[in-house]
Chains A and B, each alone.
Chain A
Amino acid sequence: MSYYFTILSPSDAPLFNIAFGTSKSGGDGIARFRFPDSAQYMNQFVIHSSLDIVEEAQWMNGNMYLKHIDTYPPAAAYISAFLTPSGTRFLLLHQPPQPPSTSSTGGSSLLSSSFSGASSSRASSSSVAANPTSPQTEEAVRQFMNEVYENYVKTIMSPFYRQGMEIRSPVFRTKVTAAGRKWL
């Protein structure tokens, strides 16, 4: 599972973004998107296009966490969204890894799965990584969003931060990475 997390201002300007991979079930925390390396802009396109849905959902729904709102089927990318009271959008694109038949998931996991294939596949099917629309995933993303939100509020309360500025605090970035490692 690979993740691309973006914070967008109410006027769609990006304030922060980070890409990371799952750290659960043996993941090494490095994002491996399905787009080829030359097409990493697709993440931003997919996120940007899902703003259509966010705009619609934010008026239909009283919650801050909008859950899974959009899908980009060609790359199996799923978008979850979170709204802050000031209208800032947190968008998380998550993309399950490609089926192992087409791409290897790494040498070590291949070795281990060769003899414990059944058990590992069962474990991965129940974990967050394999099933992006399951309730567990929704819950994990919610936890992640809440934690990021907490840190976000602390960050923007910094006296040197003005609204609409890009967030460049390294502390915030580590916090987000930690939250990603913890929940996703």
Chain B
Amino acid sequence: MTSPGDAPPVKPPPSFSPTIPRVASKARYPEHHDSSPPLESDLVDPSISSTPSLPTATSELPIRSASPHARSLRSSTPQLARSTLVSPLDGRFDGSEDIRSLIIRSFSPAVGVYASEDTDNLVREKGFKHGFWELIRPFGENVPGKLVIRDSVGSSRGWEDYGVRFIDLAGRDWDIAGAGQESPGQVEEVLQRQLNSVFLDGPLTGPLRPKESVSYPLASPLYKLFLRRLLSAASATPHETFRHPVASVIAISSRNANPLESLRQLYADTSNGHRRLPDWAHPEYLRYYVLVHDEDRDDIAESTKLFDQMKRHFGLHCHLLRLRSSQCVSSDDDSVQTPLCEWLSPSEHLMGMGEKETLVDIDTDGPPYLFDSDVVAIKSLVRELVAQSVIPFMESRVAVWNDQVASRRRGISGRFMSMSRRWAGFGSSSRSSGISGGASGNYDTTRGFYKPDAPEAILRKMADFAFMLRDFKLAASTYELLRSDFGNDKAWRHHAGAHEMCAISTLLNPLPSPAKFKLEGIDQMIDTACYSYLTRCSDSTNALRCLTLAGELLKSRGGSATEDAARWTMRAMDQGLVGPVGQILFSERISACYASRTAPTGAKWGSRHRKAGMWSLLAADQWLKIGKPALASASLEEAERFYANVLDDGIFPMPEMQTFVDNLRHHVRVEYLESRGLDTGENQSAPLSSTVDTEETSEKLDKRNHRRSLMGLPAPLDPGGLALASPKGQGFDGNEDQPNDDFERA
């Protein structure tokens, strides 16, 4: 394989020698063109994508992966392995499909976990200090095997990547969760930490690490981390029900002296006791009873008897989970490391990072280990829970609500009668009608939510269920139905949420072609959602989520939608929703958006190489400013690749641009070498900057000769000069007589 580790360790990063990568990218240009995969091929580091890694990678392709080299790259790039929080899930999908899947998976149903004291104690003995919830949480994020979901029309579709989110009912304070949104500052902080944890050790371990680790794909995992944290940032709020529990796992263990009674007690806690959901959440959700059997200490016969009893009492939603209670250490034969959670909220991430740092000291790094048999048991529990209980429950709720509430709603609106409701969908009818008239009166203005049994709340829940079941068509039409209701009630957060989700589900719906008017409608919705979130609710996290999702999904549509994507991403930057690192990531994202706009076949125009290049350069500049020369170097190289498509010899026609790029290149090079521990002082000035100088001056001379030959004569005297010509070029030592000054003055 071509793991970058094979590369000679002292090879300078690509942007160090300005002429070479350009030549290479020139040569690569046709290849890039005829294969024309939208984005990933651009992001893939050239040295790897062009190597014979391809056939080996294809053999291990997962089902969905589209572009083999990117995958092989991800799995083999060392910095991914280093930032372990990012890596384990990255290899599965690719490109825009990857981001799409990420977005879809982020809206997965929440399942509460509420375990009895004895269960938690049992699990704590295994080394999970937060109890049962912590044990099963990572396994819920990816349900093994294919799940078949029926949508509202009755057609089934299988999903490989379905998951649920386990939330801890015991340790959750709903009232605080409802009010306090996590601020986007936290997402930014996560990024900072991640950056530092990846690069802090740079100078120390630097020489050991292959230089290719600075290649571009690093930015992509970082961006994905950002996306993932942003999407998990939302806590349960009244205005959307994605974080409201769809079901709840109630667990007792075989150690319990009085099992049925404690099950009843746990149920009572969640339904009307102190673990009750807040007023705005729908109180009816599925309960799933789990009996945890201790393999090491208890008798299986007793547990089976108890389990039979449970089944008689509670029906089908029961499971017997057989776990070993002794702690597993990594040296055991069949030990498996617990997978890492993919969907940590930013605050959890921050706490987790802190924990990890302390843990590293006492040499028990990483999550605890589990016995293989335990892992298999938990996986089958999750599979059974999701496939046989949660999804059928959600399907039936959607069907019931669709029949009872949604259709009645349409009846009230009074345009289309029952006849049309199954076939015409509600999309076309409701858009034209809307609920005329004022507020419905179901909205509790003082407390800011709808009661859970109000039709609006149920519709919203139904739409969210449909969305989580990935029936985007039904979801979009239901959100559309709700938009005007919320507007009439002046329930602004709900209003924004409905607009946002309507746009997103329309974009996720694969059926409609990207017709122009459709996109305009989406623009309108996104705009409204942002306005409502920002101006009326000052909820910047959700606004950021809305803009980011819109950008990503539009980008994955391709074609002219990519420009809209870039526009929305710029909007998010403009509004100041992201911090400095986020700004840079967004710059890179905009560059990627423009890069994915490909020219129509055979035409020389229509692509956006210059724009992509500009945004990459800006990103490089900003990386440099926050002191990450390795990343800056990667971005710079990326920019050069884009510009190689439009520039002759890589020389910018405009003098100030050329100066800027030369400066940038120089600084990136110097800072990169500094950060790698090379002596910056006299030592460096001797060997290094001599090469630097020769390279730069040769370029300059080239250009000047060229220009002189065009101009013929030196510039005529113009002592006054123009005021604006003066500030330029002065920062660059020794270049006062640069051609650009002549040029301005001429």
Give the interface of A toward B (CB within 8 A): 8, 11-14, 17, 19, 30-31, 37-38, 40-41, 43-52, 55-56, 58-59, 73-74, 164-168
* CA A43 to CA B657, docked complex, whole Å: 9
Type the 1/0 row for B564-600, where 1 means its CB is closer than 8 Å to any CB of A: 0001001101100000000000000000001000000
Q: How far is the CB of B526 from the nearest CB of chain A, in Å? A: 15
Whether A168 touches B746, Cβ cut-off 8 Å, given contacts A40-B727, A41-B656, is yes
Q: Are B605 and A166 in contact (CB under 8 A)?
A: no
Q: Are A49 and B653 in contact (CB under 8 A)?
A: no
Can you identify 18 A-B contacts, CB atoms within 8 angstroms? A8-B653, A11-B648, A12-B646, A14-B655, A19-B724, A31-B724, A40-B728, A43-B656, A45-B614, A49-B613, A49-B614, A50-B610, A52-B594, A52-B609, A55-B606, A73-B571, A166-B743, A168-B715
Q: How far is the CB of B653 from the nearest CB of chain A, in Å? A: 5
Type the 1/0 row for B636-675, where 1 means its CB is closer than 8 Å to any CB of A: 0000000000101000111111011000000000000000
> How many CB-defined contacts (below 8 Å) exist between A and B?
85
Whether A59 touches B605, Cβ cut-off 8 Å, given contacts A14-B654, A17-B744, is yes
Chain B residues closer than 8 Å to A30, beta-carbon distance: 723
Chain A residues closer than 8 Å to B652, beta-carbon distance: 48
**Looking at the complex, which one of A40, A48, A167 makes contact with B614 (CB distance below 8 Å)?**
A48
Shortest Cβ-Cβ A-B pairs, 9 listed? A168-B746, A55-B605, A41-B656, A44-B654, A41-B660, A49-B611, A49-B614, A49-B610, A12-B653
Q: Does B407 sit within 8 A of A, measured CB to CB?
A: no
* CA A30 to CA B724, docked complex, whole Å: 9
Q: How far is the CB of B712 from the nearest CB of chain A, in Å? A: 8
Q: In this complex, what residue of B is CB-closest to A40? A: B728
* CA A43 to CA B660, docked complex, whole Å: 12
Q: In this complex, what residue of A is CB-closest to B605? A: A55
Q: Does B525 sit within 8 A of A, measured CB to CB?
A: no
- Looking at A14, A40, A58, the one whose CB has the most chain B CB atoms below 10 A away is A14
Whether A74 touches B657, Cβ cut-off 8 Å, given contacts A56-B606, A165-B710, A166-B746, is no
Type the 1/0 row for B715-746, where 1 means its CB is closer than 8 Å to any CB of A: 11000000110011001000000000001101
Chain A residues closer than 8 Å to B573, beta-carbon distance: 74
- Looking at A45, A58, A166, the one whose CB has the most chain B CB atoms below 10 A away is A45
* CA A73 to CA B586, docked complex, whole Å: 14
Q: How far is the CB of B618 from the nearest CB of chain A, in Å? A: 8
Q: In this complex, what residue of A is CB-closest to B657? A: A44
Chain A residues closer than 8 Å to B657, beta-carbon distance: 41, 44-45, 48
Q: Are B611 and A52 in contact (CB under 8 A)?
A: yes
Q: How far is the CB of A11 from the nearest CB of chain B, in Å? A: 8
Q: Does B152 sit within 8 A of A, measured CB to CB?
A: no
* CA A108 to CA B653, docked complex, whole Å: 40
Q: In this complex, what residue of B is CB-closest to A8? A: B653
Chain A residues closer than 8 Å to B710, beta-carbon distance: 164-166
Q: Are A74 and B570 in contact (CB under 8 A)?
A: yes
**Looking at the complex, which one of B567, B594, B654, B716 makes contact with A48 (CB distance below 8 Å)?**
B654
Q: How far is the CB of B362 from the nearest CB of chain A, in Å? A: 47
Chain A residues closer than 8 Å to B617, beta-carbon distance: 45
Q: Does B10 sit within 8 A of A, measured CB to CB?
A: no
* CA A164 to CA B603, docked complex, whole Å: 25
For chain B, the bracket of interface size reads 35 or more
Q: How far is the CB of B646 from the nearest CB of chain A, in Å? A: 8
Q: Main SS of chain B's interface residues?
A: helix
Q: Does B608 sit within 8 A of A, measured CB to CB?
A: yes
* CA A41 to CA B657, docked complex, whole Å: 6
Q: Are B610 and A51 in contact (CB under 8 A)?
A: yes
Q: Does B711 sit within 8 A of A, measured CB to CB?
A: yes
Q: Does B41 sit within 8 A of A, measured CB to CB?
A: no
Chain B residues closer than 8 Å to A55, beta-carbon distance: 604-606
Chain B residues closer than 8 Å to A165, beta-carbon distance: 710-712
**Looking at the complex, which one of B654, B659, B727 makes contact with A37 (CB distance below 8 Å)?**
B727
* CA A162 to CA B727, docked complex, whole Å: 31
Q: Does B607 sit within 8 A of A, measured CB to CB?
A: yes
9 new A-B contacts, CB < 8 A, other than A14-B743, A74-B574, are A37-B727, A38-B727, A41-B659, A44-B654, A44-B657, A52-B594, A52-B607, A52-B609, A55-B605
* CA A156 to CA B64, docked complex, whole Å: 59
Chain A residues closer than 8 Å to B656, beta-carbon distance: 40-41, 43-44
Q: Main SS of chain A's interface residues?
A: helix
Q: How far is the CB of B58 from the nearest CB of chain A, in Å? A: 35
* CA A14 to CA B610, docked complex, whole Å: 16
Chain B residues closer than 8 Å to A50, beta-carbon distance: 610
Q: In this complex, what residue of B is CB-closest to A38? A: B731
Chain A residues closer than 8 Å to B723, beta-carbon distance: 30
* CA A45 to CA B653, docked complex, whole Å: 11
* CA A47 to CA B655, docked complex, whole Å: 13
Chain B residues closer than 8 Å to A14, beta-carbon distance: 653-655, 743
* CA A58 to CA B604, docked complex, whole Å: 12
Q: In this complex, what residue of B is CB-closest to A20? A: B724
Chain A residues closer than 8 Å to B646, beta-carbon distance: 12, 51
* CA A123 to CA B653, docked complex, whole Å: 40
**Looking at the complex, which one of B574, B603, B609 makes contact with A73 (CB distance below 8 Å)?**
B574
Q: In this complex, what residue of A is CB-closest to B617? A: A45
* CA A53 to CA B636, docked complex, whole Å: 23
Chain B residues closer than 8 Å to A74, beta-carbon distance: 570, 573-574
Chain A residues closer than 8 Å to B731, beta-carbon distance: 38
Q: In this complex, what residue of A is CB-closest to B583? A: A74
Chain A residues closer than 8 Å to B711, beta-carbon distance: 165-166, 168
For residues 526 through 573 of chain B, which have their beta carbon under 8 Å from a beta carbon of chain A?
Answer: 567, 570-571, 573
Chain A residues closer than 8 Å to B574, beta-carbon distance: 73-74
Chain B residues closer than 8 Å to A12, beta-carbon distance: 646, 653
Q: In this complex, what residue of B is CB-closest to A75? A: B574
Q: Are A13 and B653 in contact (CB under 8 A)?
A: yes
Q: How far is the CB of A14 from the nearest CB of chain B, in Å? A: 5
* CA A17 to CA B656, docked complex, whole Å: 12
Q: How far is the CB of B76 from the nearest CB of chain A, in Å? A: 34
* CA A81 to CA B343, docked complex, whole Å: 47
Chain A residues closer than 8 Å to B567, beta-carbon distance: 73
Type the 1/0 row for B489-526, where 1 means its CB is closer than 8 Å to any CB of A: 00000000000000000000000000000000000000
Q: In this complex, what residue of A is CB-closest to B711? A: A166
Chain B residues closer than 8 Å to A44, beta-carbon distance: 654, 656-657
Q: In this complex, what residue of B is CB-closest to A71? A: B567
* CA A150 to CA B617, docked complex, whole Å: 37
Chain A residues closer than 8 Å to B610, beta-carbon distance: 48-52
Q: How far is the CB of B300 from the nearest CB of chain A, in Å? A: 66
* CA A13 to CA B743, docked complex, whole Å: 12
Chain B residues closer than 8 Å to A37, beta-carbon distance: 727
Chain A residues closer than 8 Å to B724, beta-carbon distance: 19, 31, 40
Q: In this complex, what residue of A is CB-closest to B745? A: A168
* CA A68 to CA B89, docked complex, whole Å: 45
Chain A residues closer than 8 Å to B746, beta-carbon distance: 166-168
Chain B residues closer than 8 Å to A164, beta-carbon distance: 710
Q: How far is the CB of A139 from the nearest CB of chain B, in Å? A: 26
Chain B residues closer than 8 Å to A47, beta-carbon distance: 654
Q: How far is the CB of B208 from the nearest CB of chain A, in Å? A: 38
Q: In this complex, what residue of A is CB-closest to B713? A: A168
Q: In this complex, what residue of A is CB-closest to B652? A: A48
Q: In this complex, what residue of A is CB-closest to B647? A: A12
* CA A38 to CA B712, docked complex, whole Å: 31
Q: How far is the CB of A138 from the nearest CB of chain B, in Å? A: 21
Q: How far is the CB of B554 from the nearest CB of chain A, in Å? A: 15
Q: Are A73 and B660 in contact (CB under 8 A)?
A: no
* CA A51 to CA B611, docked complex, whole Å: 9
Q: In this complex, what residue of A is CB-closest to B566? A: A73
Q: How far is the CB of A151 from the nearest CB of chain B, in Å? A: 15
Q: In this complex, what residue of B is CB-closest to A173? A: B746
Chain B residues closer than 8 Å to A45, beta-carbon distance: 614, 617, 657, 660
* CA A19 to CA B567, docked complex, whole Å: 27
* CA A116 to CA B326, docked complex, whole Å: 81
**Looking at the complex, which one of B603, B608, B715 makes contact with A52 (CB distance below 8 Å)?**
B608
Chain A residues closer than 8 Å to B648, beta-carbon distance: 11
* CA A11 to CA B611, docked complex, whole Å: 17
Q: In this complex, what residue of B is CB-closest to A167? A: B746
